[in-house]
Structure 1
């Protein structure tokens, strides 16, 4: 999809605020009938702009009181080591995000843990065992000032 028109932008904004919104409610909010609204929604899903729907969970209420931003440096960058590194990252639920970055370090991870002891064990049993890791630097979040997965949606200019 090359561009987002005003109606599609409104659909995306509404669904980012309430992913459980029914098509009927969505159509009502957009002042349009349900069938064209449903078609637009399906097109947004088919083109991959909408990748899925999920509930936002409160990590603290789930007992995950520690959030760490972890910078990793690696000595091995060959295809096999990279593939194994990525496989481990993808199957480790405590790692919420992993980005290959520019700068001094190779990767930036967002990690959650129950407490500092749990995080320490995670570093020992998981991060230190990743292939090629030569440096691990952690920054612990003291206060979460903003946490959002909502993306800014802009109408394509013509």
Structure 2
């Protein structure tokens, strides 16, 4: 947070409203130059603070009605790198986290229906060598999702 100043924070807040907003519109809204907006966004991107501007897809509206949060128990935690690379090949896995506790990894899976979810779990994930066990909690809908407040 020390590396962000008021201009950076305000530019990010403008982008959160609409990631497609023109730099000139951001400049006008913040009463700064278009060049400054462009330079700041480039700097934030180079620093890895902004990781890109991507569309947010409503999974349910494109036919993915099922979601799960699934904990993965590995045979050996040191195999996590290889296993993560295999998980990346499964497009229905949208998130993957290192966690503490009973599991090594925690993933978010989206599926079209219960049969699709079963195939992802039993035919794709369970076939990855080194995964000892999965434990899933079904998602019933997202109450909210947001970025951290700056």
Shorter-normalised TM range: over 0.9
TM-aligned CA deviation for residue 19 of structure 1: 0.8
Structure 2 distance, partners of 1:9, 1:120, is: 43
Give the number of aligned pairs. 150
**What's the CA shift string for 1:33-54, capped at 9, x where partnerless?**
2122222222112222111111
SS at match of 2:54: coil
Q: Is residue 145 of structure 2 the alignment partner of residue 151 of structure 1?
A: no
CA contact (8 A) 2:66 2:117 kept: yes
Structure 2 distance, partners of 1:113, 1:9, is: 36
| Runs of 5+ consecutive residues of structure 1 not aligned to the other structure | 154-158
**What's the CA shift string for 1:19-72, capped at 9, x where partnerless?**
101010010111112122222222112222111111111101110000100011
TM-aligned CA deviation for residue 76 of structure 1: 2.1
TM-aligned CA deviation for residue 107 of structure 1: 1.1
Match of 2:69 in 1: 69
Match of 2:110 in 1: 112
CA contact (8 A) 1:71 1:136 kept: yes
CA contact (8 A) 1:84 1:131 kept: no
TM-aligned CA deviation for residue 113 of structure 1: 0.2
Match of 1:31 in 2: 31
Question: Looking at both structures, which has the greater relative contact order when contacts are Cα pairs under 8 Å and sequence separation is at least 6?
Answer: 1
**What's the CA shift string for 1:78-109, capped at 9, x where partnerless?**
4xx33331111122110111111100111110
CA contact (8 A) 1:100 1:108 kept: yes
CA contact (8 A) 2:87 2:125 kept: no
- More displaced, 99-108 or 82-91? 82-91
Structure 2 distance, partners of 1:111, 1:17, is: 27
TM-score by length of 2: 0.92
CA contact (8 A) 1:99 1:109 kept: yes
Q: Is residue 44 of structure 2 the alignment partner of residue 47 of structure 1?
A: no
